[in-house]
Amino acid sequence: MEQVFNWITANQQILYIVILMIFVGIEVIGRVPSVLHTPLMSGANAIHGVVIIGAIIVMGKAEPGNYPALILGFLAVLLGTLNVVGGFVVTDRMLDMFKKKK
């Protein structure tokens, strides 16, 4: 039990961010019209591509001879980039079509 309390204390900053971000996330999209559901999902999909930063760190820290880590890291960077770039581009294409209507 003590370990758990220690862990909470050690990570309290992060826990505050997590809790506040949950409220921000809910608040920010609370009033979205249903036509925008899909682009919003797609945009959020691109944003969680931020996981690529973790991939870059893994890749950049791998020792040059450690091929399993290098290969897994490389794959992670590649997939993360696909998520980010593909996500933003496809969202932009969706929204571009909305704009034309006016």
Partner 1 sequence: MSFMGLNLLTIAYLLGSISFILGLKMLSSPATARKGNLLAAAGMGIAILATIFLYRDNETGEPLGNYGWIFGGLLIGTVAGTLAAKKVKMTAMPEMVSLFNGMGGACAALISLVEFSHISGSIQRSGIHEGHGGTVLIILLGLLIGSISFSGSMLAWGKLNGKVKDYSFAGQNVLNLLMLALALVATVWLVIHPESSYLIYVVLLLSLIYGIMFVLPIGGADMPVVISLLNSFTGVAAACGGFLYDNKVMLTGGILVGAAGTLLTILMCKAMNRSLKNVLIGSFGATASGAAATSAQGHYKEISLSDAATVMAYANKVMIVPGYGLAVAQAQHTCHELEKILTEKGVDVAYAIHPVAGRMPGHMNVLLAEADVAYDKLQEMEDANEGFKNTDVVLVLGANDVVNPAAKTDPASPIFGMPILDVELAKTVIVNKRSMKPGYAGIENGLFFQPKTSMLFGDAKKVLQDLCSEIKNI
Q: What gap in Å lies between CA 79 and CA 33, rounded to an integer?
A: 31
* Residue from 20, 81, 94 nearest 51 by CA: 81
78 binds partner 1 (CB under 8 A): yes
Near partner 1 by CB under 8 A: residue from 12, 17, 65, 67: 17
The answer for residues whose C-beta is within 8 angstroms of residue 49's C-beta and 6 or more apart is: 80, 81, 83, 84, 87
Q: What gap in Å lies between CA 95 and CA 43, rounded to an integer?
A: 10
98 binds partner 1 (CB under 8 A): yes
Site for partner 1 in 43-72 (CB under 8 A): 43-62, 64, 68-70, 72
12 binds partner 1 (CB under 8 A): no
Q: How far is the CB of 6 from partner 1 (least distance, A)?
A: 7
5 binds partner 1 (CB under 8 A): no
